[in-house]
Amino acid sequence: MFSRHQRKAALLFALADVALTSLSFEAAYQLRVFLPLERVFFLLPPVKALLWIVTLATWVALGYLLRIYERLETAEARTALEDSLRQAAVGMLVLAGFLYAAKLDISRSFLGLFGVFNLLALIAYRVSARTLRGRLRRWFGAESYFVIVGTGETACQVGRAVEQAEGDGARLLAFVEAGNEDSGGLVTLARPYPVRARQELGQMLRSHVIDEIIFAVEREKLAELEPVLVQCDEEGVRTRVVVNLFRHVNSEMYLDQLGPIPLLTFSATPHDEVRLAMKRALDFGLALAALALAGAPLALVAALVRLTSRGPAIFRQVRCGLNGRRFTLYKLRSMCDDAESRQPELLARSEKGGPAFKMTNDPRLTPLGRYLRRFSIDEWPQLWNVLKGDMSLVGPRPAVPREVDLYQGWQRRRLRMKPGLTCLWVLEGRDGLDFDTWMRLDMEYIDNWSLWLDLKILLRSIPRVLLGQGAN
């Protein structure tokens, strides 16, 4: 229903996961202790406590990272089942990785029992959660009564949304005329509702239980309704205003504050600072590990570049980063030293279409450079760009300024996400894509971004890059 209710529901699901995972952990432990197997099983209290804490933290973190808790409030049984399977499977993999890294030898039968118990507990609770919450609300009388000011199409849409939330305790009482019209008539949705005159609202507040009033009127009428809003404010009634001031703007909208000043904010790109901070932490950790592993091979390849062609081993180029910020991108040089100056004579042979330049069998490529390009080895130094924060592991590829100057308005939105080493276009065809498809895939990534999507793109990109698939 409302976003604050969704946040509360997500917290309740997280607490339920803590309880269910703890019960599953202890049940598996006790059963394994009493099983008459060849090896006697027990854990020292510090080890057991550490394993329990890591398990709980992993399961709750996955619930938030995979956005499972956001979907469970309205999820169908099949979605709840799939999310539970995914959370349990990834959780067991993380737990196995932790045990390997910590060099802890834990009974496999205990881990198997825990995995089975936990999965069954999660599925059983989540499939029945909606029915259980409905019964609890009926038992404890947790119902909220709504009145909608307005009778137009927007007001009817709000009314239908309230009706759909009846399982969460929402009850629609009536509609109120936004103008000075007399009362009378009905608004018929799933059921008919009376329409009251605006002058009757004060009496309704005194004679009926009304928890919230939603104003769903045209923006021209909002100023006329200020006395009604003031009256609701005086009586402490919660009021909401449907904000559809710019109907053709598709950005996500949220309320923020600059000091005491309220701001209505529109964002067409991801803006959750917590998840973006987690994305940055993941980028930093993985880039640091990759540089540590690739340090010696990178030095060897750089030496080969210097020995096989004239010019520096590292190619530097100015690119456009987040929101158009300029930064220096690093690559292993795969072309001849004067490649930049020769590009204008090759522009007519570009196969990409649009502002971007790309051609098969580029004559500027060195023999070693063709190999480096095919397996993306030339991109390795960009891990330093990721470490510095100029780039991310996953995101739209960083464009050169001259290309950005030729972008159409809608294409510039790709600059609102930090550029990356890989993105959806790597999975869909890599160098074989035309410019418009490339842009469309970048927009699709931005519109559907999540940490889970980043992880899937990374895992699917690695084999394609190692096999040189889709590269010219």
Interatomic CA distance for residues 337 and 46, integer angstroms: 60
Tell which residue, 127, 124, 123, has the closest CA to residue 84: 123
Residue 207 has pLDDT above 60, yes or no: yes
Domain boundary among 140, 161, 191: 140
Region 13-19: mean pLDDT is: 89
Nearest CA to 91 out of 71, 69, 111, 108 is that of 111
Say yes or no to pLDDT of 214 above 50.
yes
Residue 260 resides in a domain = no
Q: Name the more confident of 309 and 468.
A: 309
Instruction: Note whether 81 and 117 are same-domain residues.
Output: yes
**Are 239 and 281 within one domain?**
no
Q: Is residue 220 part of a domain?
A: yes
At 140, the pLDDT band (50, 70, 90 cuts) reads very low
| Bridge partner list, 255 | 264
Q: 352 falls in which pLDDT band (50, 70, 90)?
A: low
Angle between helix axes 273-308 and 451-466 (nearest 10 degrees) is 20
Is residue 262 domain-resident?
no
Over residues 36-47, the pLDDT tens digits come to 877 778 888 888
| Overall domain count for the chain | 3
pLDDT of residue 192: 92
pLDDT digits (tens, 9 = 90+) for 154-175: 899 999 989 887 876 788 999 9
Query: What average pLDDT does range 468-472 have in this prediction?
Result: 60
Buried b (16+ CB within 10 A) or exposed e, 28-54: bbeebeeeeeeeeeebeeeeeeebbee
Place of tokens 């239908």: 160
In a domain, 440, yes or no: yes
Query: Rounded to two decimals, what is the model's pTM?
Result: 0.69
Do 462 and 364 lie in one domain? The reply is yes
Whether 326 and 395 share a structural domain: yes
Mean of pLDDT over the chain? 84
- Output 352 or 416, whichever has higher pLDDT: 416
**Domain span holding position 453:** 273-466
Smallest CA-to-CA distance from 376 within 419, 334, 437, 318 is with: 334
pLDDT tops 50 at residue 458: yes
Same domain, yes or no, for 81 and 168? no
Structure tokens at 219: 């923006």
Please check whether residues 418 and 328 belong to one and the same domain. yes
Instruction: Read off the pLDDT of residues 270-296 as tens digits, 9 standing for 90 and up.
Output: 888 888 888 999 999 999 999 999 889
Enter the tokens of residue 228: 């009604």
By the 8 A CB rule, do 213 and 192 touch?
no
Give domain status of residue 300, yes or no: yes
Higher pLDDT, 337 or 22: 22
Across residues 108-127, what is the average pLDDT? 90
The answer to whether residue 471 sits within a structural domain is no
pLDDT at 139: 52
Cα separation, 335 vs 76, whole angstroms:
54
Asked if residue 261 belongs to a domain, the reply is no
Please indicate, yes or no, whether residues 34 and 120 belong to a single structural domain of this protein.
yes
In a domain, 107, yes or no: yes
Residues 325 and 337 in one domain: yes
Residue 168 per-residue DSSP state = G
- The answer to whether residues 251 and 270 touch, using CB atoms and an 8 Å cutoff, is no
What's residue 19's pLDDT? Answer: 93
Last residue of a domain, one of 140, 156, 180: 140
Tell whether 422 and 332 lie within a shared domain: yes
Give yes or no: residues 218 and 359 share one domain.
Answer: no
Q: What is the CATH number of the domain that holds 156?
A: 3.40.50.720
Report DSSP letters for 283-302, one per residue: HHHHHHHHHHHHHHHHHHHH
Selection from 354-363, 406-415, 427-436 with the highest mean pLDDT: 406-415
Tell me, yes or no, whether 362 and 420 share the same domain: yes
52-101 pLDDT, tens digit each: 999 999 999 888 888 888 777 666 778 888 888 989 999 999 998 888 88
112 pLDDT tier (thresholds 50, 70, 90): very high
- Alpha-carbon span 64 to 20, nearest angstrom: 16
pLDDT of residue 389: 93
Q: Which of 245, 264, 282 is the last residue of a domain?
A: 245
Query: Does 294 share its domain with 436?
Result: yes
**CA–CA gap between residue 83 and residue 93 (Å, rounded):** 15
